[in-house]
Amino acid sequence: MFPTSMQDYASFAAVAVVSAVAIIGCVYRLYLSPLSRYPGPKLAAVSYLWQTYMRYHGLLPTKLEQQVKETGPIVRMGPNHLCFWDADAYRDIYVTQKFPKQEGFYSSFQIPYGSDNLFSAVHHTAYLNRKRKLMPLMSRQAVLSLQGLFQQQLGIFVSRIRPLADGHQSVNLFMAFRCLTMDVITLFSFGEAVGALQTPDFHANVATSYDDYLRGTHLNVHYPWLASILLRMPTWVQPNWLRGYLSMVNIGKESLERFQAGGGKQRDYPVLFSQHVEFRTGLTDDELVSDASLFVGAGGDTSGVTLSIGAFYITRTPGAQERLFAELQAAYPDMKDILTANVQDLEKLPFLSACIYESLRIAVPVSADLPRVVTGGDWHFKGYVIPNGTTVSSNAVAVHFNEQIFPEAHEFKPERWLDAEGRFSNKLEQWLVSFGKGPRSCLGQSMAMVELYLFMAAFFRLFKVDTVSRLEDIKLQEHFVTSPIGHDCSARLECRAE
Q: Which residues are annotated as a binding site for heme?
A: 442
CB of 196 or CB of 374, closer to ligand NAG: 374
Q: Does 388 bind ligand NAG (CB under 6 A)?
A: yes
| Side chain identity, residue 202 | F
Q: Does 103 bind ligand NAG (CB under 6 A)?
A: no
Pick the binder of ligand NAG from 232, 377, 403, 421 (CB under 6 A).
377
- Segment lying near ligand NAG (by CB under 6 A), choices 127-135, 179-187, 352-360, 371-379: 371-379
In Å, how far are 302, 307, 325, 326, 467 from 315, measured between CA atoms? 20, 12, 11, 14, 7
Residue 251: name the closest of 190, 331, 307, 301 by CA: 190
- 3-class SS at 27? helix
Q: Nearest approach, Cβ of 403 to ligand NAG (angstroms)?
A: 35
CB of 228 or CB of 375, closer to ligand NAG: 375
* 21: phi then psi, degrees, rounded to nearest 5: -60, -45
Report how far residue 17's alpha carbon sits from residue 465's, in angstroms, rounded to the nearest whole number: 65
CB of 103 or CB of 419, closer to ligand NAG: 103
- Segment lying near ligand NAG (by CB under 6 A), choices 137-145, 151-159, 373-381, 444-452: 373-381
Beta strand 384-386 with 379-381 is: antiparallel
Q: Does 19 bind ligand NAG (CB under 6 A)?
A: no
CB of 391 or CB of 467, closer to ligand NAG: 391
Within positions 257 to 316, which residues make up the interface with ligand NAG, using CB under 6 A? none
Dihedral angle sign, alpha carbons of residues 129, 131, 136, 137: positive
Q: Does 380 bind ligand NAG (CB under 6 A)?
A: no
Q: Does 34 bind ligand NAG (CB under 6 A)?
A: no
Environment class of residue 332 by beta-carbon count within 10 Å: exposed (0-12), middle (13-18) or buried (19+)?
A: buried
Residue 430: name the closest of 402, 458, 472 by CA: 402
Show Cβ contacts of residue 446 under 8 Å, excluding neighbours closer than 6 positions. Answer: 138, 139, 140, 142, 143
Q: Nearest approach, Cβ of 374 to ligand NAG (angstroms)?
A: 8
Q: Nearest approach, Cβ of 104 to ligand NAG (angstroms)?
A: 14
Q: Does 389 bind ligand NAG (CB under 6 A)?
A: yes
- Segment lying near ligand NAG (by CB under 6 A), choices 136-144, 255-263, 354-362, 369-377: 369-377
Q: Nearest approach, Cβ of 107 to ligand NAG (angstroms)?
A: 18
List the binding residues.
442
Partners of 384 in the β-ladder = 381
Interface size with ligand NAG, residues (CB under 6 A): 5
- Segment lying near ligand NAG (by CB under 6 A), choices 13-21, 34-42, 370-378, 480-488: 370-378
Q: Nearest approach, Cβ of 300 to ligand NAG (angstroms)?
A: 36
Q: How many CB atoms lie within 10 A of CB 37?
A: 10
Show Cβ contacts of residue 135 under 8 Å, excluding neighbours closer than 6 positions. Answer: 443
CB 404 within 8 A of CB 427: no
Q: Nearest approach, Cβ of 287 to ligand NAG (angstroms)?
A: 27
CB of 389 or CB of 439, closer to ligand NAG: 389
Q: Nearest approach, Cβ of 101 to ligand NAG (angstroms)?
A: 14
Q: Nearest approach, Cβ of 35 to ligand NAG (angstroms)?
A: 15
**138-176 exposure pattern, b = at least 16 Cβ within 10 A, e = fewer:** beeebbeebbebbbebbebbbebbeeebeeeeebbbbbb
Q: What's the alpha-carbon Rg for the chain, to the nearest Å?
A: 24
Residues near ligand NAG, by CB under 6 A? 375-377, 388-389
